[in-house]
Amino acid sequence: MENAVKRIGVLTSGGDAPGMNAAIRSVVRSALAMGIECVGIRRGYEGLIRSDFTLMNSSSVSRIINQGGTVLYTARSEGFRTEEGLRKAAATCKLLGIDGLVVIGGDGTFRGAQALSKYGVSVACIPGTIDNDIGCTDYTIGFDTAANTAVECIDKLRDTMHSHERCSVVEVMGRHAGFLALYVGLAVGATAVLVPETQYDFNAHVAEKIRQARLGGKTNFTIVVAEGAASAVEVGQQIRENVGLDPRVTILGHIQRGGSPTAKDRVMATRMGYEAVRSLAQGHTNRIICAKNEQIVEVDIDEGLAMTKTLNKEEFNVMTVMTGV
């Protein structure tokens, strides 16, 4: 039977994440293999409003699988939050003959796709965010690379902290979720880890952990702070005033979003990109592509966005045991 899907669009939106280019590559090449044309939308939803696009082919995505960032660029669009903006975006899809749209990004990106779907645009969403905070999927593209970047930075800081017998307070990304901080904290053997999911208590979560470590013979300490849990600068000040140490504060910031994606992120992005195109080609509409138990599956966008995600209990328990020792 002839494929009813002739042309699809692909865009990246919200914060960039390592592996987005690998996902774009997978979408384009999977589409071409299925006899479907692929249009790249530049600058996210703003590009849909402004009709900023490019027709993509196999060479368009050559040698980008190892690149961080996104070749389609990304932007936040205030106009897309309005009914007028949504109508313009839907009109662009209709004008270009786009039968389905693959969107790559995080929760805000998915909610934008959900809103656009109400205007008759079929969407397939690929989770790409270093926060790993999408409720319906075990994994989001970019998390592994960001974690490895943070671990590498903290390992280097630790060499100096060990040499000078000091305390290092390191702030990692995670405004509303502590998945990255918890994972990184476990990987570097942090003295304490602060996450947004737990109400911050300096004495219990920092001071006592440092005291336990010092009583155990340690002379250097690493505190990992998710940006949404507390201010690393304020934590450093509290350590100086209440524990008597002279801490050094490092905010890793956007360095965590950049860099060449790890093998895991490249493979997951490629698998998810293929599944997104396959889903649209089979006539499925308004889906989120998810990782569940190492398998790539899809869920309805309304159901997926209604799901919530909590920190891994086992990881949290292990972290609790390992910190302060």
Same domain, 17 and 116: yes
Q: Which of 199, 230, 258 is the last residue of a domain?
A: 258
Catalytic residues: 131
Amino acid (1-letter code) at residue 274: Y
Give the span between the Cα atoms of 177 and 180, in whole angstroms.
8
Same domain, 136 and 155: no
Amino acid (1-letter code) at residue 301: I
Coil/strand/helix, residue 297: strand
Rg (CA), the chain: 22
The answer to whether position 244 is within a domain reads: yes
pLDDT, tens digit (0-9, with 9 covering 90-100), for 175-208? 999 999 999 999 999 999 999 999 999 999 999 9
The answer to whether position 322 is within a domain reads: no
Per-residue pLDDT in tens (0 to 9) along the chain, 325 residues: 457 899 999 999 999 999 999 999 999 999 999 999 999 999 999 999 999 999 999 999 999 999 999 999 998 899 999 999 999 999 999 999 999 999 999 999 999 999 999 999 999 999 999 999 999 999 999 999 999 999 999 999 999 999 988 999 999 999 999 999 999 999 999 999 999 999 999 999 999 999 999 999 999 999 999 999 999 999 999 999 999 999 999 999 999 999 999 999 999 999 999 999 999 999 999 999 999 999 999 999 999 999 999 998 898 888 888 876 5
Res 1: pLDDT: 41
Res 43: pLDDT: 96
The answer to whether position 291 is within a domain reads: yes
Same domain, 121 and 245: no
Q: CA distances (Å), 53 to each of 40, 92, 98, 159, in order?
A: 6, 10, 12, 47
User: Helix 20-33 to helix 263-281 angle, to the nearest 10 degrees?
Assistant: 40
The answer to whether position 311 is within a domain reads: no
Which tokens go with 179? 């998945």
The answer to whether position 21 is within a domain reads: yes
Same domain, 161 and 288: no
> What is the CATH number for 166?
3.40.50.460
Give the span between the Cα atoms of 103 and 276, in whole angstroms.
9
SS3 content of the chain, % helix, strand, coil (to 5): 45, 20, 35
Q: Report how many domains make up the chain.
A: 2
Q: How many of the other CB atoms lie within 10 Å of CB of 228?
A: 17
Domain that holds residue 176: 144-258
Same domain, 299 and 219: no
Res 114: pLDDT: 97
pLDDT, tens digit (0-9, with 9 covering 90-100), for 71-89? 999 988 999 999 999 999 9
Same domain, 80 and 189: no
DSSP state of 226: E
This prediction has a pTM of 0.94
Give the span between the Cα atoms of 245 and 240, in whole angstroms.
5
Same domain, 199 and 247: yes
The answer to whether position 316 is within a domain reads: no
**244 near 201, Cβ under 8 Å?**
no
Strands 248-251 and 53-56: unpaired
Which tokens go with 85? 């903006």
